[in-house]
Amino acid sequence: GDLVSATQLTGVFSAKRVGDLLPFCHPVTVDFVEVQVRVNEEDVEVRATVGGIGRTGYEMEALTAVSVALLNVYDMCKGVDSTMVIEEIRLTEKSGGKSDWERDLSGVRVNVLSPREDLREIAVGYLKKLSAEISRDAHLLLILGEPYALEERISAFESVVAFHDFRRDPTGAGSEIRIGRDREGRLVVLIPESEDKLRFFFETFGGVLRSLL
């Protein structure tokens, strides 16, 4: 069958049935659903945009649309490749409800400082996936394994990071990741000279950096 059309239809249908699929997610009126499907040489990408006139956000409808649409891709293609993996389902932008949220860092200038070039390259790779601009004239400083004076600490966010790091690795000595602002008012993230800590931070909290700026 037509993989693209079937996947789009599945996504649209799923976005409108979230209340039936998730027992603790109350039903909302969905006024708009767009499901985009792109078939690449080695993978299939699905993106969903969902909206309505309700006061709540529609992130669960969008995430459900993508998730079930990808299950349809698996169902239609499993006869060709049963080793397929569904991965990287994430929210990229939300407006409405209790808060607005955007994962994309387009327009945000970031400077990455590290004595280790390999760590810097990893960080730059994550930032480019978030559409950030790498620049010395930065809104955000990402400092890896170097001391830096913070004028103000964002303690509440640091506590959240430490909590998730402890859940991930209870044997560790704490996240040792510091977030704050310098004298020029720039957002600063201090991460130890550790690839493990760097990847943990971006994979867990990369999407909320814009909200701290």
**What pLDDT digit, counting tens, does each position of 103-125 carry?**
678 889 999 999 999 999 999 99
State the pLDDT at residue 99: 58
> One of 31, 43, 75, 100 is an active-site residue; which one?
75
Question: Per-residue pLDDT for 210 more than 90?
Answer: no
Delineate the domains of the chain, giving CATH numbers in brackets: 3-102 (3.30.70.640), 109-212 (3.40.980.10)
Please say whether the beta carbons of 110 and 133 come within 8 A.
yes
pLDDT in tens, 11-39: 999 999 998 999 888 888 888 899 999 99
Query: Could you confirm whether 75 is annotated as catalytic?
Result: yes
What mean pLDDT, rounded, does the chain reach?
88
Reported pTM? 0.56
The whole-angstrom separation of Cα 170 and Cα 81 is 38
pLDDT in tens, 60-104: 999 999 999 999 999 999 999 989 999 888 887 766 665 555 567
